[in-house]
Amino acid sequence: MSTLFTRILNGEIPGRFVWREDDVSAFLTTGPLADGHTLVVPTEEVDRWTDASPDTLAKVMEVARRIGAVQVDVFGAARAGLIVAGYEINHLHVHVWPSRSMAEFNFATADQNPDPKVLDANAEKLRQGLRDAGYGEFVPD
């Protein structure tokens, strides 16, 4: 049985994609800690991040680094937050978001009912920032 993330990657469930490659994609979460909160997910279904191949883990982290750098710029944040939790969905994923303080590193504060229009606007803002940073080939329309 495929994971929720595989179903999103395959287009069975809609996702607000900001990055698409054959082996790694990124899309906004529906429970954001901050505007622009993104999940970076490998195409390969890997349950625990410690079970990922070095190449898969390196690729996920490189995409997360690129997205995080752009989030800092486009959302005016001090840093990019990053968490690898692995309990919500049994499919390796990295949370990346524009962070202003350590208080944001708490999933209990996530917005569980975000406005879809705000999510759409944040996705487009991040896509444009990624294009402007030279990553246009990976940014879906």
> Are the CB atoms for 26 and 43 separated by under 8 Å?
no
pLDDT surpasses 70 at 100: yes
> Are the CB atoms for 22 and 15 separated by under 8 Å?
no
For all residues of the chain together, what is the average pLDDT? 96
pLDDT at 1: 67
Nearest Cα to 71, choosing from 94, 42, 45? 94
Cα-based distances in Å from 27 to 65, 95, 102, 103 = 14, 10, 23, 23
CATH code of the region 4-136? 3.30.428.10
Show Cβ contacts of residue 42 under 8 Å, excluding neighbours closer than 6 positions. Answer: 23, 24, 52, 56, 59, 60, 92
pLDDT surpasses 70 at 86: yes
Which position among 37, 91, 93, 95 bears the catalytic label?
93
Tokens of 22: 């054959």
Specify whether 93 is catalytic: yes
pLDDT at 26: 98
Q: What is the pTM assigned to this prediction?
A: 0.96
pLDDT at 96: 98
**Confidence class for position 4, pLDDT limits 50, 70, 90:** very high
Q: In the chain, pLDDT over 70 holds for what percent of residues?
A: 99
> Are the CB atoms for 45 and 2 separated by under 8 Å?
yes
pLDDT at 87: 86
pLDDT at 88: 86
